[in-house]
Amino acid sequence: MAEPLIVVKNLNKSFPGVHALKDIRFDLYPGEVHTLVGENGAGKSTLMKVISGVYQKDSGEILLDGKPVAIPNPKAAQKLGISIIHQELNLMNHLTAAQNIFIGREPKDRTGIFLDERTINKKAQELFGLLKIDIDPRVKIGELTIAKQQMVEIVKALSYDARVLIMDEPTSPLNDAEIEELFGIIRDLRSKGVAIIYISHRMDELFRISDRITVMRDGQYVDTLKVGETNLDHVISLMVGRSIEVTAPQVDLGANRPVMLEVRGLNRGKALKDISFTAKKGEILGFAGLMGAGRTEAARAIFGADPIDSGEIFVNGAKVSIRHPCDAVRHGIGYLSEDRKRFGIAVGMDVETNSAMASMGRFTGFAGFVKRKDIRKAAEDHVAKLSIKTPSLQQKLKFLSGGNQQKVVIAKWLIRNCDILFFDEPTRGIDIGAKQEIYSLLNELADAGKTIIMISSELPEILRLSHRIIVMCEGRITGELSASEATQERIMKLATQRETMVKAAAKQTVKE
Amino acid sequence: MATAATVKTEGAQKDAFTSSQAKQKILAFSSLVILIVGFSLASPNFFQPANLIAIMLATAVNGVLAVGVNFIIITGGIDLSIGTMMTLTAVMSAQAIVNWHLPIWVGLAVAILTGVICGGLSGVMVAKLKLPPFIATLGMNLFTKGLSLIIAHSKPIYFSDYPAYNQISMGSLFTFTEDFQIPNAVLIFFAVAIVSAIILTKTTFGRYTFAIGSNEEAVRLSGIDTDKWKIAVYAFCGAIVGVAGIMIASRLSSAQPALGQGYELDAIAAVVIGGTSMSGGEGTILGTIIGAFIISTLTNGLRILSVPQEWQIVTTGAIIIFAVYLDILRRRK
Amino acid sequence: MATAATVKTEGAQKDAFTSSQAKQKILAFSSLVILIVGFSLASPNFFQPANLIAIMLATAVNGVLAVGVNFIIITGGIDLSIGTMMTLTAVMSAQAIVNWHLPIWVGLAVAILTGVICGGLSGVMVAKLKLPPFIATLGMNLFTKGLSLIIAHSKPIYFSDYPAYNQISMGSLFTFTEDFQIPNAVLIFFAVAIVSAIILTKTTFGRYTFAIGSNEEAVRLSGIDTDKWKIAVYAFCGAIVGVAGIMIASRLSSAQPALGQGYELDAIAAVVIGGTSMSGGEGTILGTIIGAFIISTLTNGLRILSVPQEWQIVTTGAIIIFAVYLDILRRRK
Amino acid sequence: QQQLYIPLISKGFQHQFWQAVKQGAEQAAKDYKVTITFEGPESETMVDKQIDMLSAALAKKPAALGFAALDSKAALPLLQKAKAANIPVIAFDSGVDSDIPLTTCATDNVAAAAYAADMMAKLINNEGEVAVIVHDQTSRTGIDRRDGFVNRIKAKYPKIKVVDVQYGAGDHLKSTDLAKAIIQAHPNLKGFFGANEGSAIGVMNGVKEMKKIGKIVVIGYDSGAQQIAAIKAGEMNGAITQNPVGIGYKTVECAVKALKGEKFPKVVDTGFYYYDKTNIDDPKIKAVLYQ
Ligand SMILES: Nc1ncnc2c1ncn2[C@@H]1O[C@H](COP(=O)(O)OP(=O)(O)OP(=O)(O)O)[C@@H](O)[C@H]1O
Ligand SMILES: Nc1ncnc2c1ncn2[C@@H]1O[C@H](COP(=O)(O)OP(=O)(O)OP(=O)(O)O)[C@@H](O)[C@H]1O
Ligand SMILES: [Mg+2]
Ligand SMILES: [Mg+2]
């Protein structure tokens, strides 16, 4: 191999109360994909932020092309040819997709003073075309779903033509087709000699894309492995320090279970068309579909987060009127959002408060006083139960790693103890160990008689957990499969049953 | 095992955390202490019982307003109407007592009720009509200002025949010596502050106040009727403004319908000097009180030193910036 | 195939989008039009050339201030110093011309330079010292207020010997008839608005202004020196404030050192009525101009109708709320 | 038949003094069967806002105009316009630096404040420290009253020292706290002059709260129920009152006379009075006091 492009030696970084990186080493060669894995809070993002100039190291050395470099700010990193896609979206919601991509590098018109909006849009369109992404460059970022926003982030990072490209969980909001496109791009870049640092919690991706894998644990370097010389189990055991038992796939439930939730004829604009389904007590009902299929919309509509045009909802056989999330929660429905930063947590508040947020009624005592002890007890229990990594219950959520934030949201709904729980992408950004924990948690909840509705874009996850699977496409329910009949192929077929295609097929049969 | 380890470090860190927090709290006073020491050295007339009481009294009305609006600012809102709303509550109280000859306690209830209604209305405009708080409360500012003048016929309403009313602010439950009487207004101020601090930190209402300021949508999606709570916060602030209205009317023995405009900025300034962020989600009552005291101490001290007024203004500006900068440095650590 | 289909619908949506946008823009004027029509029907004296010009003249200074502070509000900041800073720029200009006998153009440059320095200072406090904009500019407010009084010795400085200075605002490049002369102040206002609109929408400076207001951290992570640009925005607003200072001094033929306090609120109100969000990231110059016109038309119209002054205040409050609510309904669609 | 319309543009409207002027004007309007409006900006610093008011008033095509200029030079172009349209202008409260107004109905504030200084000197036996709270440092009335008082002390009473002059915006509460700080800073203070109603009440409250009643001579300005009560109770030694109702009445009266082509003097001095415990119930004084 050639000379390493980046070498990190003995790097240390601390935050108040957290020694996030302890004597980390790391190296990166041109033309390789070097994957970084580790549990939530292992320090992966922190290391990347040090390399890209967002944080300053406390001690240690970073060598670029063999020479020590200082990276005081993101601009310096850019100048050194280091480009990063952050784990959290960093986009300007009020600007268009194209404007976001070219922020700081806007092309000017002939006068050299004014922005050349047409060129910006054209260039962005070209980039989108290259990646086969269907986004109008002129649309405001805030109006896109997070999956599309993530695509814009990726395009932006790519557009820098960097020597080092860091991708911190780029695929967590993407579906399989999009991930495939991304991998195509990554391979392409690798062949051009770009060095890529790749972070992901999706274990299946590791062996498809990486050349080498570095494992981190608790802020420490564990090992670096060549892909050809190791296997998944080994990596996982290095990551979590123990082996992980994989839960067995679900079997069908008896048909005679009582129905907990029934939705009839739900309509909402163009997003939802005639959604009807039932969910039984003790059942995990999977919702599958491609990005933008309307699963989130359906869950939000049932939960009262968005107004509906028509439709009826029955809980435990009784018709209920849900106009506002508080109605839903009152009827025992909880909703764990896919976009935790925007809809799930208050980043400025601490673990304790966030986890009690949905149950404040229960924690309110005499004269409106908060029962602090009870909250603390509940929070403590759930921090332990979900192994949430936090220095204290008073730590603000913004200082937790992404995966741990997600666990706090789960804790919030567990503490609420709802009968019906919507989990929208519950394992997004969660490490493999925690994922297993969440899976067994979902099973436990179902066994305890809760009704779980799980929306997920990871088919293996859907297949493994669901008793029954509902597939959506373009705002409609296109089919329902029992656990025994479900396969990846059948789900994908239903998930791509577009209305236009259905109509065309119908027409053809008529002609015949 | 891993869990045990985490718990252990947690304990250790927690101690470090609380003690540094305690230090932080003490340091929060530093600007104020520097001011007091500075003025005391500069003039022998400053650090006198009578003057300290005068400072406290001068802080009282602004302090109470600041405590009220602090709640709203913590939710991420703002209330520009508190000054003129205070006037309206004072006028309504006077109207009830002087013109309708109702008992004094009814007059007090009327003041607070007026505040609750006006505040609640602002809250409805913000929460239900989705008006920006700036506009809703600017409208309420004009509305209450005009209404005060109309109701009072642009003339003060005097409490001359109700000496007891004056005692609400200026009487003294705690008289130590002839020279050292703490006027009730100051006690009311501290009482409002303490009760508010308890409400803000110990009740569900307070929790929601912070939570809404931190991420309103997340709170709504946790099944909480955020609209209702926002209205409650504005109404609660209105109630506190009603208390301020009673305090000022009783101190002046009259409801002055033309006064009030501009008081909102002083109150908001106290809140922000006290470290509450205008973008919501954080803030303390203690900070607000310190902020209010910094303003009044500064004003009083510069006057005691007989600094010419224009230089007072310049100096106040500079010192406020400096005080807040000190506070920011303290927090950064 | 799928791509082609999407592209098609996209195109269709775009047309619908642009036309609905155009409709939106026209509808933005609706509150103003309703006001104008209403007042015209209510009084024959309202829709008269002289009165319309009076309205435009009354809008000019506030409008220019609003355009300036609009930039800052789009970045998510606020500037409470623009009113008194305007005064300081006027005083400095008068100082240069009347007391130092410098040529008029130097006096104008001095005004704008003063604005840039003061604005830049606020910017440094916000961007570098990380002071909340509210505090930094409140400090600057007091600072400029005091300084104006000190420099002018609390007395107006008159331009009596410089009739040309008065012509800057009150002369008329466009004289149609004796009755129908558009004063230069109005032209300057429109010029400032147009130039600002171009800068805001067509230049890097404008782009960063929006971007910082939308997500400052993201901009910083994109390798942009956000501090520098924020300082630039405050300094730019200062320059515009300097223009306003020249306009008011030339209109009054004097620099009035005590004037200015409270003007910032009017300007900010115009900005917010015009649909700019206080939390940053969005806003238009056109909206701001409409906002400024709504305020001045309302004030003028109610006067023309001889509404008693206290009722004027109440009505203004109600109509402002209503106008903004209309605008919110329009946007929601 | 349409009544003649005469707008009065004043310097303010919320304060009691202006309300009393308005009251006088309304009385005259009733007596002479004309319509008036009375308007003024919120603060006496808002020169340009007053000009906008003036210009709206002119748009209403008035028969005549009453005007109390915040800055007479700034208003000149509009006054010229009024003159060109043959609208008679009557100045009130303070003079307009121009010969356009046919007359000025005002109090001589300098003389009145100087008289307050004389009374102060008398009450403190011509020696000691005195302080002044004025409502505004840039408005004409503020300047005139301050200078009238201070200059008279300087000129005639060498043993009296004006130790502090500060400004309280006419705000009762702020003036109270201000007065207390001044008393604190000058423990030997003998006398205190408050140059308008808000300032006077502030001074009186301050003296009271600092428990210095009887030790500090308080002289106020203007009237109002609280000042009258304070004088009766001995908390305030005396005060200057103008004749605001008279100012308002005369302004409208002169305007009507001007429209009829009648003659009247170039200056209508509406006078001022010093009132204290001894003469407060005098009908002549009672007539000019407002409650
Ligand atoms: N700004 C900060 N202030 C305080 N603590 C922080 C900060 N950023 C990260 N941490 C802490 O540092 C540790 C490492 O966090 P980091 O985000 O690097 O984890 P990660 O490996 O990326 O995890 P994930 O897979 O969940 O994204 C965590 O314990 C986290 O709580
Ligand atoms: N904030 C938004 N603004 C505009 N359109 C939106 C928004 N959120 C969702 N949509 C649109 O609504 C439709 C349904 O999206 P939704 O997020 O419900 O899909 P999903 O099946 O949950 O997919 P995902 O896996 O991305 O969550 C899509 O066409 C999407 O583009
Ligand atoms: Mg991470
Ligand atoms: Mg979704």
Residue A244 has pLDDT above 80, yes or no: no
**Per-residue pLDDT tens for C72-91?**
999 999 999 999 999 999 99
Query: Tell me, what's the pLDDT at D139?
Result: 85
Candidate of A287, A297, A300, A423 to mutate for ligand 2, largest count of ligand atoms within 8 Å of Cβ: A297
Q: pLDDT-derived band of residue A503, with 50, 70 and 90 as boundaries?
A: low
Ligand 2 contact, A338 CB (< 6 A): yes
- Counted residue by residue, chain B has a size of 333
Question: Do A345 and B210 lie within an 8 Å CB cutoff?
Answer: no
Max CA pair span of chain D: 65
B258 within domain boundaries: yes
Closest residue by Cα to residue D118 from D164, D151, D141 = D151
HSE (side-chain half, CA atoms, 13 Å) at B165: 31
**Per-residue pLDDT tens for B131-146?**
999 999 999 999 999 9
Query: Tell me, what's the pLDDT at C6?
Result: 37
Strands (E) located in B160-271? 174-175, 181-182, 254-255
Query: Under a CB-based contact definition with an 8 Å cutoff, are residues C99 and C157 in contact?
Result: yes
C51 within domain boundaries: yes
Residue recorded with tokens 């102040």: C185
Query: Under a CB-based contact definition with an 8 Å cutoff, are residues C295 and C270 in contact?
Result: yes
Can you say how many angstroms the Cα of residue A512 is from the centroid of all Cα atoms in its chain? 46
Q: pLDDT-derived band of residue D199, with 50, 70 and 90 as boundaries?
A: very high
Proportion of chain C above pLDDT 90, given as a percent: 77
B4 within domain boundaries: no
How wide is the angle at C-alpha A186 spanned by C-alphas A184 and A192, nearest 5°?
110
Give the CA radius of gyration of chain C. 21
B278 within domain boundaries: yes
Least confident range from C45-54, C60-69, D113-122: namely C45-54
Ligand 2 contact, A474 CB (< 6 A): no
Which residue of B13, B199, B218 is in closest CB contact with A346?
Answer: B218
**Per-residue pLDDT tens for D152-177?**
999 999 999 999 999 998 899 999 99
Least confident range from A85-89, A459-463, C175-179: namely C175-179
Burial of D271 (0-12, 13-18, 19+ CB in 10 A): middle
For residue A242, give the amino acid letter: R
A417-439 mean pLDDT: 87
Q: pLDDT-derived band of residue B174, with 50, 70 and 90 as boundaries?
A: confident
Give the CA radius of gyration of chain A. 24
Task: List the structure tokens of B326.
Answer: 């000190």
List the strands of the sheet with A451-455, edge to edge. A333-336, A420-424, A451-455, A284-289, A468-473, A476-482
Supply the residue whose CA is at minimum distance from atom 9 of ligand 1: A399
Element of type H or E holding A214: strand A212-217
**Per-residue pLDDT tens for D76-95?**
888 998 999 999 999 998 77
Which residue of B125, B154, B316 is in closest CB contact with C310?
Answer: B154
Q: pLDDT-derived band of residue A253, with 50, 70 and 90 as boundaries?
A: low
HSE (side-chain half, CA atoms, 13 Å) at D147: 11
Report CA-CA distances (Å) from D97 to A402, D74, D75, D111, D242: 72, 10, 10, 19, 22
For residue B290, give the amino acid letter: I
pTM for the model: 0.90
Residue A377 has pLDDT above 80, yes or no: yes
Query: Tell me, what's the pLDDT at A180?
Result: 87
Q: How far apart are CA D52 and CA C57, in angstroms?
A: 8
Ligand 1 contact, A303 CB (< 6 A): no
Phi-psi region of B154 (alpha: psi -120 to 50; beta: other; left: phi over 0): left
DSSP letter assigned to residue A115: B
C60 within domain boundaries: yes
**Per-residue pLDDT tens for B298-323?**
999 999 998 988 999 999 999 999 98
How wide is the angle at C-alpha C309 spanned by C-alphas C303 and C312, nearest 5°?
70
How wide is the angle at C-alpha C103 spanned by C-alphas C100 and C108, nearest 5°?
95
Best of A14, A242, A369, A387 to substitute, by most chain B Cβ atoms within 10 angstroms, is A369
- Number of domains chain B is built from: 1
Phi-psi region of D33 (alpha: psi -120 to 50; beta: other; left: phi over 0): left
**Per-residue pLDDT tens for A148-191?**
898 899 899 988 888 999 999 888 878 777 888 889 889 988 99
Nearest CA in chain C to D137: C154
B294-298 mean pLDDT: 94
Backbone φ and ψ for C51, nearest 5 degrees, come out as -70, -40
Helices vs strands, H then E, count in chain D: 10, 12
C101-127 mean pLDDT: 97
Domain of C38?
24-332
Q: Which domains does chain A have, with CATH numbers?
A: 6-81+163-240 (3.40.50.300), 254-332+419-431+448-512 (3.40.50.300), 340-417 (no CATH)
Q: How far apart are CA B223 and CA B165, in angstroms?
A: 45
Query: Tell me, what's the pLDDT at C7?
Result: 37
* Strand duo D103-106 + D89-93: pairing: parallel
Best of C46, C170, C306, C316 to substitute, by most chain D Cβ atoms within 10 angstroms, is C306
Atom of ligand 2 nearest to the CA of A457: 25
Tell me how far the alpha carbon of residue A35 lies from the centroid of ligand 3, in angstroms: 13
Q: Which residues of B271-292 are buried (b: 16+ CB within 10 A; e: fewer)?
A: bbbbbbbbbbbbbbbebbbbbb
Q: How far apart are CA D272 and CA D222, in angstroms?
A: 9
**Which residues, including other chains, have CB under 8 Å from residue B190's CB and lie 6 or more apart?**
none
Chain C contact present for B192, CB below 8 A: no
Mean per-residue pLDDT of chain A: 88
Question: Do C210 and A94 lie within an 8 Å CB cutoff?
Answer: yes
Task: List the structure tokens of A326.
Answer: 């508080």
Supply the residue whose CA is at minimum distance from atom 7 of ligand 1: A399
Q: How far apart are CA D91 and CA D258, in angstroms?
A: 13
B7 within domain boundaries: no
Atom of ligand 1 nearest to the CA of A219: 14
B272-292 mean pLDDT: 92
Query: Under a CB-based contact definition with an 8 Å cutoff, are residues D259 and D88 in contact?
Result: yes
**Per-residue pLDDT tens for B15-69?**
444 556 677 677 778 889 999 999 999 999 999 988 999 999 999 999 999 999 9
Could you tell me where the DSSP H helices lie in A192-294? 203-209, 232-240
B107 within domain boundaries: yes
CATH number of the domain residue B221 falls in: 1.10.3470
**ipTM for the whole predicted complex goes beyond 0.85:** yes
Task: List the structure tokens of D208.
Answer: 């009271």
Query: Tell me, what's the pLDDT at B16?
Result: 45
Which residue of C139, C277, C318 is in closest CB contact with B317?
Answer: C139
Q: How far apart are CA A152 and CA D171, in angstroms?
A: 57
Task: List the structure tokens of A155.
Answer: 């395009």
Proportion of chain C above pLDDT 70, given as a percent: 92
Chain A contact present for C202, CB below 8 A: yes
Least confident range from A99-103, A400-404, B111-115, B156-160: namely A400-404
For residue B140, give the amino acid letter: M
B189 within domain boundaries: yes
Task: List the structure tokens of D249.
Answer: 């009445």
For residue C170, the distance in angstroms to the closest alpha carbon of chain D comes to: 10
Ligand 2 contact, A293 CB (< 6 A): yes
Query: Tell me, what's the pLDDT at B10?
Result: 41
Residue A361 has pLDDT above 90, yes or no: no
